[in-house]
Amino acid sequence: MAITVQSVINAMILDTRGLLTTSGDDTLTIGWVSRINADIMYNGTYNYLLRGRVNQAYVADQAAYTPTLTNIRKVLAITDVLTGKQLKPMTLGTVSQPVGTVPTAAPTQAELEFKWPKYYILTGVTGTPTITLSPTPPIASSLGMDVIWEKQATALTAVGNTPDVPETGLDLLVAGTNWLAFIYLGRPDEAKIWYDLYQTLKKGEGLV
């Protein structure tokens, strides 16, 4: 059963909830749960759940590709499947991009090594992401490239929202939210206790 923001609030320290909640207003706590959810997903043991992978075939002499990368935060790796090598990111203008032509005969291994894609530029992350390769592939390849990217964590804005952290991470969400709550309340000793527990759980230690 999926947990919700309300599940985290219900599991918090009772006296903390009493001090924070005014007439049923959980606005502060919802924001903290959202912040902790994002921190766990980006920096903790559940990061793998945010990763997406897609394969994009090569078209001969084509530089720009628009694979389906949904809700992208950042590209983690682009690997050329044929060679098994990771492509290197580059900045516009730093590496020349030769204009290739479709060969009349199958290229030799040396030609493939020289002309095969080695670099990429990623643009349009907030819209339609485009990956531009350099050099351009001299021939078509159904193997193409594998793109692995990290998705954005869910922004939580209501008690009924479902965090990205799975049910097994409820204690982790609660520990992190208690940490932020005690900081807000000006109780540093208790905040440190919850911070230490949160960091331990975030590494995957003690998870059920």
Mean local confidence (pLDDT), 125-129: 74
Q: What's the confidence (pLDDT) of residue 2?
A: 81
Mean pLDDT over all residues of the chain? 84
Shortest CA distance to 99 belongs to which of 58, 136, 59?
136
CA dist., res. 24 & res. 88, Å (int): 51
Mean pLDDT for the stretch of residues 118-145: 88
Predicted confidence (pLDDT) per residue in 150-198, tens digit: 999 999 999 999 999 999 999 999 999 999 999 998 999 999 999 999 9
Chain segment 75-84, per-residue pLDDT in tens: 899 999 999 9
pTM to 2 decimals? Answer: 0.78
Give ∠ CA 12-18-22 in degrees, rounded to 5: 120
> Is the confidence at residue 126, as pLDDT, over 90?
no
CA dihedral (13, 44, 33, 196) positive or negative: positive
Give the range among 51-60, 112-121, 136-145 with minimum mean pLDDT: 112-121
